[in-house]
């Protein structure tokens, strides 16, 4: 008669699953490959089998699960519980994922954007502890966003609020994957940071990164930060542009949702203080003097577990409301 | 034993006051001059006297008031209920306005930003009817903002959320009164629309507006729209720049809070469809194709009463929660 909570992070490559007690203590976790091309039915069946195995290994039964949460990349119809058309999982079209899971687990299921879910995880158990209002950016291939306002996720009319990476900071600037021009994501995501370095070298700018490009045919974001630390000037310029774009994002989210803390997550935060301090520098350079130092800017602390923790925390919050 | 609601809109020039029944029906309203230089004590005393007169004229007594709301221009410490330092009312420093009113009226008082209050008024009784999620811009000397999410005002950690006019849309662009560069307000408020026209003429651009400038020493926003309608090319260019800045604001608030409807208010909406249609054009030009037509963009309907209605509505919402 335990009250287990299940948190699921469904990505294009892997599905991470965590089994939690009612204090959000992680009892056991696992990760399986998504193999999205096998189709939604097969993926959900393997997901349910993995949950069953995890619960059993934790010493419980499926009937002990009180609620579950799942996060997927957007856009989706989160209010209706449906993955409509996922760029990372082309075989998933109009999939009623919430209902499928709810039927399989026989419990209420919360379905939300993966960045929202990770944001809520950090809010409850990570870098957001102690505040009521938080903004969150995850810096990976794209830039995901999340906002917590007065302790609750900001969801918007269709569950697609906080798509902060697609706010426009340079109108008519770089073309974003989404089709808009000048999105923050088109400058400051990990992949676009690497892409801007590549473009600069191809345009003839001098950099120690050229050797990497010549040898491997590509530059990663990690390469940029490694060469920055070794003193490369182009890497510094590219990092500064990334940091400035992220600082503008921070200013705009501050003026829109007024968080007490802004948390950055995702692979790119491995760059450490050379990135974080530049974001703070540009924030203080651009912000209204009245608002200087009015918000803490920091890195996430939960790493890859933010998604499963957040999904379980949302499931818990939902069952209490 | 009626349950009267009082709504107050405290501006630098005038104080508007409305007396409402519990269905938010306006029973009577009045407006007195602020005379802010007489100091907060004197202003509040006259405000209380005006409320008393209004209640009496409506056939009730002060003891019939169940709750009141008041809006003032930001920034202020809305959570603490204090006007700290008002640019429009220099004599108001560290004024515990909420407590002063609450003591005088012997009822709970809600205190919020004037744009938030007007936003809530439109949401409850005007252009926001029928939706749960709305964004709001008021176009005057500055650009005020408001956001309603799932039926509630977005307030942020200190009550200063939705300062949308100070989100940055052109980093390192025009200097804003707030000290930041590139705020939307620096381009698209009524006063900055007029200012850009003046600057263009002074820089030698040809326009029928030059005669206005020569004759009156200044150009107003209304002049710009009048000359636009008469076919002036500079007026068209200035209007287009205003509309494009407002469209970027709409896109960014859509990606951040996902409203179903975006409402423009303030003096500048007198320009009518020539402005509204250009905002929609630029919105559709810049937005992610997936999100085209995903939000209604329209004008406010309550005019100058939005503030008193919103303040009374907030007082009512607060007493129910």
What are the pLDDT digits (tens) for B72-92? Answer: 988 889 999 999 887 778 899
For residues B303-310, average pLDDT: 97
Chain B residues lying within 8 Å of A178, measured CB to CB: 288, 290
Q: Do B181 and A286 touch (CB under 8 A)?
A: yes
Q: Which residues of A touch B (CB under 8 A)?
A: 75, 131-133, 145, 147, 149-150, 154-164, 166-171, 178-181, 244, 248, 251-253, 255-260, 286-290
Give the residue extent of every domain in chain B: 4-121+304-320, 130-301
**Domain covering A4-121+304-320 in this structure, CATH number:** 3.30.420.40
Q: Do B171 and A289 touch (CB under 8 A)?
A: no
Chain B residues lying within 8 Å of A286, measured CB to CB: 168, 171, 180-181
pLDDT of residue A15: 97
Cα B25 from Cα B108, distance rounded (Å): 20
Cα A1 from Cα A60, distance rounded (Å): 9
Cα B226 from Cα B23, distance rounded (Å): 40
* pLDDT band at residue B4 under the 50/70/90 scheme: very high
Cα A158 from Cα A306, distance rounded (Å): 23
CA torsion B253-B255-B258-B264 (nearest 10°) is 30
Per-chain mean pLDDT for chain B = 95
Cα B238 from Cα B205, distance rounded (Å): 12
Closest CA to B257 of B147, B151, B123, B143: B147
* pLDDT band at residue B312 under the 50/70/90 scheme: very high
Examine the pLDDT at A1 and tell me if it is beyond 90: no
pLDDT of residue B1: 54
H/E run at residue B234: helix B233-257
Q: Do A171 and B255 touch (CB under 8 A)?
A: no
Cα B250 from Cα B227, distance rounded (Å): 26
Find the CB nearest A256 among B75, B164, B248.
Answer: B164
pLDDT of residue B74: 80
Digit-coded pLDDT (tens) for A112-123: 999 999 999 999
Going by C-beta distance under 8 Å and a sequence separation of 6 or more, which residues neighbour residue B193?
B187, B221, B224, B238, B239, B242, B268
* CA-to-CA separations, B32 to B14, B18, B39, in angstroms, rounded: 6, 12, 15
Find the CB nearest A286 among B163, B168, B290.
Answer: B168
Best mutation site among B78, B258, B284, B289 for testing chain A: the one with the most A CBs within 10 Å?
A: B258
Digit-coded pLDDT (tens) for A191-215: 999 999 999 999 999 999 999 999 9
Q: Could you tell me which chain B residue has the CA closest to the CA of A156?
A: B258
Cα B112 from Cα A215, distance rounded (Å): 60
For residues A163-192, average pLDDT: 96
For residues B220-240, average pLDDT: 97
Q: Sign of dihedral through CA atoms B199, B205, B207, B212? A: positive
Examine the pLDDT at A2 and tell me if it is beyond 70: no
Which class is A130-301 in CATH? alpha beta
ipTM over 0.90: yes
pTM flag (> 0.90): yes
A–B CB contacts, 8 A cutoff, strictly below = 130
Using only C-alpha atoms, chain B has a radius of gyration, in whole angstroms, of 20
Digit-coded pLDDT (tens) for A216-244: 999 999 999 999 999 999 999 999 999 99
Cα A154 from Cα A157, distance rounded (Å): 10
pLDDT of residue B292: 77
Per-chain mean pLDDT for chain A = 95
- Closest CA–CA distance from residue B30 to any residue of chain A (Å): 33
Examine the pLDDT at B311 and tell me if it is beyond 80: yes
Cα B85 from Cα B235, distance rounded (Å): 37
**DSSP E strand boundaries for B44-197:** 65-72, 83-86, 89-95, 109-113, 134-139, 143-149, 152-153
pLDDT of residue B294: 82
Cα B319 from Cα A213, distance rounded (Å): 64
pLDDT of residue B2: 67
* pLDDT band at residue A294 under the 50/70/90 scheme: confident
H/E run at residue B19: strand B14-20
Digit-coded pLDDT (tens) for A16-27: 999 999 999 999
Half-sphere exposure of residue B96: CA atoms within 13 angstroms, side-chain side:
6
pLDDT of residue B78: 92
Closest CA to A135 of A303, A294, A281: A294
- Closest CA–CA distance from residue A44 to any residue of chain B (Å): 27
Q: Is the peptide bond before B251 cis (omega within 30 degrees of 0)?
A: no
H/E run at residue A276: helix A273-286
H/E run at residue B210: helix B209-216
Are the CB atoms for B93 and B84 separated by under 8 Å? yes
Closest CA to A10 of A55, A52, A44, A56: A44
């Amino acid at each position: 008669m335990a009250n287990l909570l299940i948190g699921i992070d469904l990505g294009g490559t892997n599905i991470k699953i965590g089994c939690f007690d009612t204090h959000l203590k992680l009892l056991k976790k696992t990760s399986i490959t998504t193999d999205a091309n096998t189709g939604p039915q097969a993926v959900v069946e393997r997901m349910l089998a993995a949950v069953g195995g995890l619960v059993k290994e934790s010493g419980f039964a499926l009937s002990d699960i009180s609620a579950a949460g799942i996060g997927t990349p957007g856009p989706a119809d989160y209010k209706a519980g449906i993955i409509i058309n996922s760029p990372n999982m082309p075989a998933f079209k109009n999939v009623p994922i919430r209902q499928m899971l709810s039927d399989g687990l026989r419990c209420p299921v919360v379905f939300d954007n993966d960045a929202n879910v990770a944001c809520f995880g950090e809010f409850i158990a990570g870098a957001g502890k102690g505040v009521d209002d938080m903004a969150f950016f995850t810096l990976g291939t794209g830039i995901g966003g999340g906002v917590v306002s007065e302790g609750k996720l900001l969801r918007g009319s269709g569950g697609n609020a906080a798509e902060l990476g697609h706010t426009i900071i340079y109108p008519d600037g770089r073309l974003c994957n989404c089709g808009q021009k000048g999105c923050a994501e088109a400058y400051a995501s990990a992949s676009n940071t690497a892409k801007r370095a590549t473009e600069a070298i191809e345009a003839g700018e001098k950099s120690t990164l050229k050797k990497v490009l010549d040898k491997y045919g590509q530059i990663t974001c990690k390469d940029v930060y490694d060469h920055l630390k070794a003193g490369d000037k182009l890497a510094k310029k590219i990092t500064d542009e990334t940091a400035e774009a992220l600082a503008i994002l921070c200013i705009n989210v501050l003026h829109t949702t007024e968080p007490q803390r802004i948390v950055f997550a995702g692979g790119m935060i491995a760059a450490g203080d050379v990135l974080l301090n530049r974001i703070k520098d540009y924030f203080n350079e651009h912000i209204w003097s009245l608002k200087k130092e009015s918000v803490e800017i920091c890195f996430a602390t939960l790493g890859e577990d933010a998604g499963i923790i957040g999904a379980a925390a949302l499931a818990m919050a939902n069952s209490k409301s």
